[in-house]
Structure 1
Amino acid sequence: MGIGIRCLIGTVFLVSSFSKVAGRGAFAAFTTSIRDMGLLPRALVRPAAWAVVIAEFAVWALLAVPAPAPAAVGFVIALGLLVAFAIGITAVVRRGVRAPCRCFGASATPLGPRHVVRNVLLAVASALGAVAVFSTGALQVAGVAVAVPCGLLLGGLTVALDDLFVLFQPVRTAPAAARGLR
């Protein structure tokens, strides 16, 4: 179980960290999204953005280390970030702010309840992962062969959550009269 959770959380934070700094204007857009949330004084927005990015890079780097202690630290950092994100997004949603989710790069999707739920579930997974790194015995090849792809798949689905929601939204079409049909 621990290796699968490492892959899940590691994938989420790997994509999240790189998406905030890769490409022209990515970090500026992330910083702007934090400012638009209105949670921090203007002077703290840029330092907070850098702190988030550095912490996100630390999470996946620590989870990639095979030893239990660094992985546990990575899970604890992830847990702290995810709880902070869930609290911040809850405050933004309650105030009716329509700030875009820049969790995984450029997105026009405003923050909403599903982002809170996603972060809470990932926080629970991080807590379980922190415990699992110390409670697992010897790795079994068959277990690793199942856990790694499952963790990577769940991480990829988590990253693509907003796109999946858009993909499965009902198509809205104009009434026939508005399209010129009778």
Structure 2
Amino acid sequence: MHYLALLSRCLIAGVLVLAVVSKLRGPTDVESAISELLKVARQPVGRRLVRLLIAAELGVAALVIAPGTAPAGLAAATVLMWGFAAFVAMSVRQRRRIPCPCFGPSRTPLGPVHVVRNVALGAVAAAGAAALAYAPATALQPGGVVVTLIAAALGVCLAAFSDDVHALFSDPTRT
């Protein structure tokens, strides 16, 4: 395993665990967003889907973290993230103004920034899976590991606060 694989494993696991913790802290926001996205009127359906989503995210994070299952976990994370991107893109295309509850309560509706975020996370997972599959295992240096872990932590923060970063650099006069 080399630094790219370590970076992708830490970043993807961090994003998924943070998303799970956020969903567990505010499940009603996620339930209503999922129900609205799927046009399901019944709350129990939304509640079940939230539980399924939490289980999927936690399961993929566990696969990514465990060394023996990391390649499969990163492949599953790629599919999960690109699936999220497709789902969000469909919502954006339909011009639905549903808040993004990915990392806790939010007023920011799903938009292109969320599609880009999920595509990028999927690409990071795919790159990590490829690195594990095709790169020879090499010894990691402590300094390189520290830098990689810092980069992964910054990546998790960037993903979690992508709405705020986008708002910071977007034109306030445009609505």
Q: How far did residue 165 of structure 1 move?
A: 2.4
Give the % identical residues: 35
Structure 1 stretch displaced more, 142-151 or 44-53: 44-53
1:37 matched to which residue of 2? 37
1:57 is the counterpart of 2:58: yes
Give TM-score, length-normalised by structure 1: 0.82
Give the alignment of 1:110-125 within 5 angstroms.
110-125=109-124
Q: Deviations over 1:59-86 (max 9, x none)?
A: 2223222x2x311222122112111111
1:17 matched to which residue of 2? 20
Does structure 2 conserve the Cα–Cα contact (< 8 Å) formed by 1:39 and 1:88?
Answer: no
Structure 1 stretch displaced more, 150-159 or 132-141: 132-141
Q: How far did residue 133 of structure 1 move?
A: 2.5
Structure 2: runs of 5+ lacking an equivalent: none
Does structure 2 conserve the Cα–Cα contact (< 8 Å) formed by 1:10 and 1:64?
Answer: yes
2:99 matched to which residue of 1? 100
Residue type of the partner of 1:47? Answer: R
Distance 1:83 1:47 in 2: 22
2:48 matched to which residue of 1? 47
2:153 matched to which residue of 1? 152
How many residues align structurally? 167
Does structure 1 conserve the Cα–Cα contact (< 8 Å) formed by 2:98 and 2:110?
Answer: yes
Does structure 1 conserve the Cα–Cα contact (< 8 Å) formed by 2:35 and 2:45?
Answer: no
Q: How far did residue 54 of structure 1 move?
A: 0.8
Structure 1: runs of 5+ lacking an equivalent: 173-182
Give the alignment of 1:124-163 within 5 angstroms.
124-134=123-133, 135=135, 136-163=137-164
Q: Deviations over 1:101-135 (max 9, x none)?
A: 01111111000011111111111111111122342
Residue type of the partner of 2:130? Answer: V
Residue type of the partner of 2:157? Answer: G
Residue type of the partner of 1:10? Answer: A
Q: RMSD value over aligned CA atoms?
A: 2.0
Distance 2:142 2:73 in 1: 24
**Greater share of helix:** 2
Q: How far did residue 11 of structure 1 move?
A: 1.4
Q: How far did residue 143 of structure 1 move?
A: 1.9
Distance 1:93 1:58 in 2: 28
Give TM-score, length-normalised by structure 2: 0.85
